[in-house]
């Protein structure tokens, strides 16, 4: 069993990663075939949100296990799957879900988190994959309580062009003019999005969308934080930022559309697909609409009888969709 403690980025803090090879050959890193590899990750959940440093939520955040998975995949791609050091690692999709809510409630003490990960190489050419897929189960203090998944791709260097070169032909001026979004005066209160500091409110007040946006709500994004977060590629929307934006939009939309109380609302499922790079200097907005609805119009409920709302989020710059998200928010009452 290959056990080591890699250098600990401040985001994750001290943590352990264990490689669980499925064959004796897998102990020899250069000899193992490009096949599925299993890993175990463990750490302590931070007392405060490691990204923003403040939280009014009584629940642990999906952000930590998802970022742990992303960084573990990036490490394993280089060490175990022979991906060259110069090759970029880009997140194509990612997701996480809560399967046992009681384990995610904070109880005033440090909790331990563990991920059991299985990574499968994709499109292998000359022993080197062009992508990597990961499925993981999440446990908190020994209770299996969630899942996480992601897909990384390793495009050639020349594939990283500006969004305009990839097909987005509209200029910054015209995009900004159409994408000015709702009026930015007056932000949501921090507690409405589970924060304590107004500087960590990343979305503006919503407006009701017209038929061109599929109805629902539209939120302008205050994405200045993106420049300070680790991106997968120049201009990419960092997964941790997209998850936090989705959580804030989800809580606000659940309150607006179904009357959920933000302090008891939890982002319980999140699945994102990254479709395009984000163009610097062009406003970003998020449109959100309710997904699956009951025929009688009443709020849906999960298997425990708690109110839950299914949401579809679309992040856009001008007419270009940069990311699509399917999410669920549950009212824990």
DSSP per position, 91-102: EEEEEEEES-GG
pLDDT in tens, 177-200: 334 444 345 789 999 998 888 888
- DSSP character for 106? -
Over range 267-294, report the average pLDDT: 89
* pLDDT band at residue 305 using 50, 70 and 90 as cut-offs: very high
Calpha distance 62→115 (Å, rounded)? 12
Q: φ, ψ for residue 246 (rounded to 5)? A: -65, -40
CA atoms within 13 A on the CB side of 81: 31
pLDDT at 4 over 50: no
pLDDT at 170 over 90: no
pLDDT at 85 over 90: no
Calpha distance 218→238 (Å, rounded)? 21
pLDDT at 3 over 80: no
Q: Which of 75, 80, 81 is nearest to 126 (CA)?
A: 81
Over range 152-163, report the average pLDDT: 65
Decide: helix, strand or coil at residue 50: coil
Length of the chain: 333
CA atoms within 13 A on the CB side of 310: 10
The pLDDT assigned to 82 comes to 87
Which pair of structure tokens corresponds to residue 45? 């959940």
Calpha distance 125→139 (Å, rounded)? 35
The pLDDT assigned to 216 comes to 87
Look at the block and give the residue holding tokens 């919503």: 206
Look at the block and give the residue holding tokens 């991906």: 83
pTM of the model: 0.84
For the chain, percent of residues with pLDDT exceeding 90:
47
pLDDT at 79 over 70: yes
- DSSP character for 277? P
Over range 284-291, report the average pLDDT: 93
């Amino acid at each position: 069993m290959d056990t080591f403690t890699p250098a600990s980025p401040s985001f994750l803090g001290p943590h352990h990663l264990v490689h669980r090879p499925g064959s004796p050959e897998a102990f020899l890193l250069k000899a193992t075939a490009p096949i599925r590899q299993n890993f175990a990750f463990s750490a302590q959940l931070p007392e405060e949100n490691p990204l923003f440093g403040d939280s009014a939520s009584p629940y642990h955040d999906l952000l930590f296990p998802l970022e742990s998975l992303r960084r573990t995949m990036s490490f394993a791609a280089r060490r175990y799957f022979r991906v060259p050091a110069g090759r970029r690692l880009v997140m194509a999709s990612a997701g996480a879900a809560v399967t046992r809510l009681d384990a995610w409630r904070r109880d005033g003490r440090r909790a331990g988190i563990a991920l059991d990960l299985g990574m499968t190489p994709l499109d292998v050419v000359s022993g080197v994959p062009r992508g990597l897929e990961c499925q993981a189960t999440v446990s908190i203090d020994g209770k299996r309580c969630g899942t996480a998944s992601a897909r990384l791709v390793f495009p050639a260097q020349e594939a990283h062009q500006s969004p305009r070169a990839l097909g987005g032909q509209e200029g910054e001026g015209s995009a900004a003019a159409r994408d000015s979004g709702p009026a930015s005066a007056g932000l949501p209160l921090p507690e409405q999005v589970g924060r304590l500091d107004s500087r960590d409110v990343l979305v503006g007040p919503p407006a009701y969308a017209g038929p061109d946006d599929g109805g629902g709500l539209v939120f302008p994004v205050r994405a200045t934080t993106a420049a300070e977060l680790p991106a997968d590629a120049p201009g990419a929307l960092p997964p941790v930022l997209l998850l936090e934006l989705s959580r804030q939009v989800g809580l606000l939309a659940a309150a607006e559309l179904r009357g959920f109380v933000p302090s008891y609302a939890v982002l319980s499922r999140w699945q994102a697909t990254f479709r395009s790079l984000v163009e610097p200097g062009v406003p970003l907005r998020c449109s959100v609409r309710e997904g699956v609805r009951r025929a009688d119009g009443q709020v849906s409920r999960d298997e425990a009888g708690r109110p839950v709302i299914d949401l579809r989020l679309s992040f856009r710059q001008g007419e270009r969709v940069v990311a699509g998200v399917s999410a669920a928010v549950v009212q824990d009452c």
